Structure 1
Amino acid sequence: MTNQELAKELIEKIGGVSNINQHWHCITRLRFNLKNPNIVQLDAIKELDGVMGAQFQSGQFQIIIGSEVANVYLEISRLTDGQLSETGNEGHQKMNPIEYVFDVISGIFTPILAAIVGSGLLKGIMAMLVFFNVLSDKSSTYAVLDAISNATFHFLPFLVAFSAAKKFKTNQSLAVALAGILMYPTFMANAAAGEITSLKFIGITIPMNSYASTVIPIILGVLLLSYVEKYATKLVPKSLNIVFVPLISLLVTAPILLAFIAPLGNLIGSYLESFFTMLFTVAGPVAGALMGGLMPLIVITGMHYAFFPGTFTSLGKLGYDIMLLPMNLVANLAQAGATLGVIVKTKDQKMKQVAVSAFIPAIFGITEPAIYGVTMKLKKPFYASMLGGAVGGAIFGTFAVKTFSFTLPGILAMSTYIESGTNNFLFALIGAVSSFAVGFVATLFLGFDTGETKVEATHSVSTTEEASSQILSPLTGVVKELSTCPDETFASEIVGKGIGIIPSEGEAVAPFDGVITMTTDTNHAIGLVSDAGVEVLIHVGIDTVELKGEGFKRLVNQGDRVTASDTLLTFDKELIEAKGLSLFSPVVITNTPNYLDVLPAIKSDSKVTSGKEEILIVVN
């Protein structure tokens, strides 16, 4: 289905627009705060075409989409624009304090990750260009690029303020104004010079601190603003709201923020940074192995967002991060290595197709398709990825490997580990390669179901799920892409995904063991369902219904049980051609939305023999 159709289905099965409080997305997932999670059709959502998985996690409803997540989110935003409301939260899912923190942090940071990741990657590319003497760090070009890449991080409180205001449902312009107050030149200059350590405001001492690149102070400030604005709105007459509510909000919030909340936020950030630095200093290899090995589980549960404030504090204060981003890097590459191991070892063509499509994004740091579609499904490759992450994490922890910018933890992030005059990049490379290699090799040696079950020569289906899902060709002839079908209904895949066959013989056979579910009076089409639940429509020719049964002979009836290769019907292909009708015969999976994907198992223009070759792969 299209992204628009998927968005409509998701909203409907979530419980409608009226059940949505907030929605946002990260790199692969749609995230929702819902009013009543009890009415969500979870199983139905998991079965939608385009959905890789769905779960309730950390007080959120998460739908794993993959690479199309931004486009699906855009369609959902269009369908819900101006209709979301906080009212009617009777069934709202209760969150414990930890879940609330995870929900708030993910809701704030995921909408602004694009700017953070893009700027971080640019900083890494600059470091690489300087390292290879392609660009001088003294040149004006470097100075301009430095401004472009650093602006996001220096003025991070502005981005966080805007996103936090949306999360806390308060005025976004007032929130951004608070960020401007924190970073006002007078305060920043005094903090940098160190000569003036504080200012007095009606008896309150305001410390002079630099809040550039910080996140906790502005998050706490916007949270306070949301309460002040709410109470101010209740106190001020509605006719004067537009004038006095902003005035009261700023006059009350800003001094409290400057005097108490922002310094406290800075202190919390410093403690977080010190804790992680000490952890890797005292127990580097052990801490690295634990974090690298457990990172896939941490990401799946959404707990990695809890490390964001400490990471940004460390990047702002020390200029590097030794915990979240490095551990994510080795874990992601181990996941990619395990996925490659599945590609190499599995004989299951369906799983091989899925693994190939998941491997490339995993290399670049997007691992959800690999985790949900491959390694977790097969279990042992997931354990192999954890082992690879642990090995890479131990290496990173031993040598205190640092990254100097925030970007997506994949192979492109390697440039962010370059530090002149040190072996930091070398150690990072060793750890990254090791995690990938261990994930790959461990997958090969641990073993898993490779899908090597064979189908008997008679093509009767074996008792395994793998064999029962096999779809053999019902016709002898030449394979064609369904998109080339003369009938637009089939070509546009409205009926379902599949292939076309130009028959060279006048016989259609059962593509699997199953039951006949549909016949026609004109005998030109027949439907059946396999024991594994795959529904197939075999439609001989285009517009052959006009023949009113002439030239066709059906040998089975609705409700009959058939075995693979049993003859279903015969037809006179010469008569069809003589009548000027197309022999293009669609073979489609009519319940395509129940599966992750339906893929051709044979190339277009290949010759097939009925009951012999597999023609379609149904990806569960």
Structure 2
Amino acid sequence: MNHRELAEQIIEKMGGSTNISQSWHCITRLRFNIGSKDKIKIDDIKELDGVMGAQFQSGQFQVIIGSDVADVYQEVSDLLEGKEKAKETGQAGKQNMLDFVFDVISGIFTPILAAITGSGLLKGIMALLVFFNLLSDTSSTYIVLNGIADATFHFLPFLVGFSAANKFKTNPSIAVALAGILMYPTFMANAAGGEITSLKFIGLTIPMNSYASTVIPIILGVLLLSYVEKYAKKIVPNSLTIIFVPLISLLVTAPIMLAFIAPLGNLVGTYLEMFFTMLFDVAGPLAGALMGGLMPLIVITGMHYAFFPGTFASLDKFGYDIMLLPMNLVANLAQAGATLGVFFKTKDQKMKQVAISAFIPALFGITEPAIYGVTMKLKKPFYASMMGGAIGGAIFGTFAVKSFSFAVPGALAIPTYLEKGSNNFMFALIGILASFIVGFVATLIFKFDLGEETEQTPISSKEVKKESKILSPLSGTVKSLKECPDETFATEIVGKGLGVIPEEGLVVAPFDGTITMTTPTNHAIGIVSDTGVEMLVHVGIDTVSLDGNGFERLVEEGQKVSVGDSLLTFDIEVIKRHQLSLYSPIVITNTPNYLDVVPSVKENERVSRGKEEVLMVVN
């Protein structure tokens, strides 16, 4: 389907536009604040062509699209224009505090990342030109380029203020005005001069601080504005709203922000930066290994946004960052190495295509296609990437490798580690190469290969490692699960497996295990093996309509059974007489826990209950 059709399907399966209170996107994901989780058909959304995955995370509903996310979001935005349900700031009470914080930070920074990363990359290119003496840092060209690259960071409160206003559903123009107040030239000059440390205002003391490049003061200021504006609208008559609400909002919010909130936000940013610096000073290698290794999990959960304030505080105060950007870089390059390892190792042609297409964006810092499409899907390559990130992070932590500008943590960000008169760039290259090579080599060493799979030829038991031996619970003729008359089974929503057209009316245990599920009509039964394989045997299609007629269950839930034990009996003639299908699905309901579930018998082959192996689960 095209981008418009995909956007329409996503909105429809999310419960419609009335269930969406806010939408935005990052590099690979659509992000939504929603009204009710119960209205989200997450499994249906995951099945859409063009969707790589979907999840609830950090108080948001996220749909992973990949490189086409901007185009799909544009269609989503057009469809939702003017229809998003207004969200009051106080709705945060529906989330826990941690989810609320992550949601707020993500919602504020994601829309402005384009300006931040573009400016950061330009700074990296300038550093590269100066390093190779292709550009003088005293030339007018450099001064102009520096102005272009540095403006985003110097005036960051303006960008953050505007984005925060959209997040908190308040007036963007007043929010930008608050950013201007924080950076008013007189206040900035007093802060720089040091002679005037504070000003008096109707009994309040206004500290003279520089808020250039800060983010926490303006976020807290706009949050306060959202409440002030809301209450001002309640007390001001509608006919006078356009005049007096902005006046009250500025006169109440600005002094409180300047006297209390902004200094507090500055202090929080300072302590964040001090904490992270101390962490790496005290336990550099260990902290680096933990951060580098765990960074993929941190990114998946969206927790990396929590480090943004500390990163900007460090860049503003010291001119460099030693944690988020460097650790993200080694983790991303390790992810790229593991993905390339999958490309070289797997024999599955489809996976080869996915791996090489995911490797290229991963190399440049966009890792979601690699994570969701390759490494996490195959599990062990994901572990390999974490190992590579840990090794690279330990090297970065040992030598306190610094990033001097904010850029997407990929190959193009490498110039941001250049520093004249130091070995920072050399150590950065060592750490990057180490993380990439470890991720690549570990993937080649780990055993996970999918093998050469064909649609008609089952994989022999010698080609894969089996979790357990799964025998047929029925006697009859084997059929492909795709032929099942019930679409739920045919599309493998319940799980992978096969079907049997039974010749005898008896179901037996396919392995040693425990009965986990029975039905009042006795037409289906669930069993879990001692090794954790969960199987559902469903006798016939729509046989629930027989209301138990012709079925007899011989076991109870929680009962231990051995392979070959009788579980239930059924009357084939009763099923035929009611013109119902005898097709009986046999599926592994916890399929996602395994690399794959594959048949060990051919289609149309006859099997005997409790004697012949029919399925294998692949680690």
TM-score bin (small chain): 0.7 to 0.9
Q: Distance in 1 between matches of 2:459 and 2:288?
A: 46
Q: 1:276 and 1:245, CA in 2 relative to 1: closer, same or farther beyond 3 A?
A: same
Q: Which residue of structure 2 aligns with residue 114 of structure 1?
A: 114
Q: What are the equivalent positions in structure 2 for 1:206-245 lying under 5 Å apart?
A: 206-245=206-245
Supply the AA of the counterpart residue of 1:42: I
Deviations 1:396-443 (A, max 9, x none): 000000000001000000000000100000000000000000000011
Q: Give, in whole Å, the separation in 2 of the partners of 1:400 and 1:250.
A: 43
Whether the aligned pair in 2 keeps the contact of 1:34 and 1:92 (CA below 8 Å) is no
CA–CA distance in structure 1, aligned partners of residues 323 and 87 of structure 2: 40
Counterpart Cα distance in 2 of 1:249 and 1:228? 6
Q: Does 1:340 align with 2:340?
A: yes
Letter of the structure 1 residue corresponding to residue 113 of structure 2: L
CA deviation after TM superposition for structure 1 residue 270, in Å? 0.2
Distance 1:237 1:137 in 2: 57
Change in Cα spacing, 1:148 to 1:87, as seen in structure 2 (3 Å) is: closer
Q: Quick check: 2:24–2:73 contact (8 Å CA) kept in 1?
A: yes
Looking at structure 2, the residues matched to 529 and 100 of structure 1 have their Cα atoms a distance apart, in angstroms, of 36
Q: Distance in 2 between matches of 1:391 and 1:533?
A: 40
2:300 equivalent in structure 1 = 300
Tell me the equivalent position of 1:391. Answer: 391
Q: List per-residue Cα deviations over 1:180-218 (Å, max 9, x = no partner).
A: 000000000000111111111112110100000000000
CA distance in 2: counterparts of 1:450 and 1:441, whole angstroms:
18
* Structure 1 SS opposite 2:252: helix
**Is 1:152 the equivalent of 2:152?**
yes
User: Contact 1:164/1:219 (CA < 8 Å) preserved in 2?
Assistant: yes
In 1, Cα distance between the equivalents of 2:88 and 2:232? 23
Identity rate of aligned residues, in percent? 74
Judged with a 3 Å threshold, the aligned counterparts in structure 2 of structure 1 residues 13 and 69 are, in CA distance, closer, same or farther, namely: same
Aligned to 2:54: 54
1:529: how far off?
9.8
The SS at the match of 2:449 is coil
The answer on whether the counterparts of 1:35 and 1:93 sit within 8 Å (CA) in structure 2 is: no
SS at match of 2:164: helix
How far does residue 95 in structure 1 lie from its aligned partner after superposition? Answer: 1.0
CA distance in 2: counterparts of 1:399 and 1:180, whole angstroms: 39
**Residue by residue, what CA displacement relative to the aligned partner does 1:331-389 show, whole Å, maximum 9, x if unpaired?**
00000000011001000111111101100000000000000010011111000000000
What's the offset of the Cα at 1:90?
13
Question: Counterpart of 1:71?
Answer: 71
SS of residue matched to 2:167? helix
1:94 CA drift (Å): 2.6
Shift in Å, 1:147: 0.2
Whether 1:196 aligns to 2:196 is: yes
Distance 1:214 1:532 in 2: 52
What is residue 8 of structure 2 aligned with on the other side? 8
Q: Which residue in the other structure is 2:330 paired with?
A: 330
Cα distance in structure 1, aligned partners of 2:167 and 2:251: 22
Q: How does 1:308-457 map to 2 (within 5 A)?
A: 308-452=308-452
Q: Structure 2 matches for 1:548-567, cutoff 5 A?
A: none
| Superposed displacement of residue 532, structure 1 | 7.1
Q: Note closer, same or farther for the CA distance 1:105–1:91 as it changes in structure 2 (3 Å cut).
A: closer
Contact 2:66 2:368 in 1 (8 A): yes
Task: Give the secondary-structure state (helix, strand or coil) at the position aligned to 2:94.
Answer: coil
Q: Does the 8 Å CA contact 1:204/1:259 hold for their aligned counterparts? A: yes
CA shift digits 1:253-293 (9 cap, x unpaired): 00000011000000000000000000001100000000000
Unmatched tracts of structure 1, length 5 or more: 468-511, 519-527, 535-558, 560-620
1:169 — aligned with what?
169
- Specify whether residues 43 and 71 from structure 1 end up closer, same or farther in structure 2 by C-alpha distance, changes over 3 A only: same
Contact 2:92 2:100 in 1 (8 A): no
CA distance in 1, matches of 2:112, 2:194: 32
Pairing of 1:119-134 with structure 2 (within 5 A): 119-134=119-134
- What is the rounded CA distance, in whole Å, between the counterparts of 2:244 and 2:173 in structure 1? 15
* Cα distance between partner residues in 2 of 1:514 and 1:92: 45
Deviation, 1:453, is 5.2
Contact 1:37 1:92 in 2 (8 A): no
Any idea what SS the aligned residue of 2:196 has?
A: coil
In 1, Cα distance between equivalents of 2:312 and 2:9? 38
Aligned match of 2:261: 261
Look up the match of 1:135.
135
Deviations for 1:444-477, whole angstroms, at most 9, x for unmatched residues? 112213324578xxx544479x99xxxxxxxxxx
Contact 1:37 1:91 in 2 (8 A): no
Contact 2:89–2:169 (Cα < 8 Å) also in 1: no
- Going from structure 1 to structure 2, the CA distance change for 1:117 and 1:203 (only over 3 Å counts) comes to same
Deviation at 1:37, TM superposition (A): 1.2
Q: CA deviation at 1:86?
A: 2.6
CA contact (8 A) 2:89 2:168 kept: no
Whether contact under 8 Å (1:38, 1:91) holds in the other structure is: no
Contact in 1 for aligned 2:89/2:227 (Cα 8 Å): no
Q: Aligned-residue CA RMSD in angstroms?
A: 2.5
Q: How far apart, in 1, do the equivalents of 2:270 and 2:491 lie?
A: 62
DSSP 3-state at the match of 1:206 = strand
Q: Quick one: structure 1 residues 178 and 441, their matched pair in 2 at CA, closer, same or farther if it must change by over 3 Å? A: same
Residue 23 of structure 2: aligned partner: 23
SS in 2 for 1:252: helix
CA distance in 2, matches of 1:212, 1:228: 25
Cα 1:129–1:91 shift into 2, 3 Å = closer
Write the distance in 1 (CA, Å) between the matches of 2:403 and 2:459. Answer: 52
Matched-pair contact (CA < 8 Å) for 2:32–2:61: yes
Q: The residue matched to 2:336 in structure 1 has which SS?
A: helix
Task: Measure the CA separation in 2 of the matches of 1:444 and 1:426.
Answer: 27
Equivalence for 1:35: 35
TM-score normalised to structure 2 length = 0.74
Cα 1:307–1:59 shift into 2, 3 Å:
same
The secondary structure found in structure 1 opposite 2:31 is strand
Give the match for residue 281 of structure 1: 281
Q: 2-side partners of 1:198 and 1:92: how far apart?
A: 35
Runs of 4+ in 1 over 2 A off after TM superposition: 86-94, 452-455, 459-464, 512-518, 528-534
CA displacement 1:235-262 (0-9 Å, x = unmatched): 0111000000000000000000001100
Q: Check the 8 A contact 2:89/2:226 in 1, yes or no.
A: no
Distance in 1 (alpha carbons) for counterparts of 2:88 and 2:203:
44
Rounded Cα–Cα distance in structure 1 between residues aligned with 2:226 and 2:484: 59
Give the C-alpha shift of residue 162 in structure 1.
Answer: 0.2
Q: Is the 2:178–2:254 contact (alpha carbons within 8 Å) kept by the matching residues of 1?
A: yes
Label 1:168 to 1:194 Cα distance change in 2 as closer, same or farther (>3 A): same
Distance in 2, matches of 1:263 and 1:397, equals 31
Instruction: Tell whether 2:291 aligns with 1:291.
Output: yes
Given that 1:29 and 1:66 are in contact with CA atoms closer than 8 Å, whether structure 2 keeps it comes out as yes
Show the counterpart of 2:517.
Answer: none
Distance across 2 between alignment mates of 1:94 and 1:297: 25
Q: For residue 185 of structure 2, what is the aligned residue in structure 1?
A: 185
Q: Distance in 2 between matches of 1:26 and 1:325?
A: 17
Query: Once the two structures are superposed, what CA deviation does each residue of 1:103-128 show, in whole Å capped at 9, x if it has no partner?
Result: 00000000000000000000000000
Q: 1:33, 1:61 within 8 Å by CA — same for their partners in 2?
A: yes
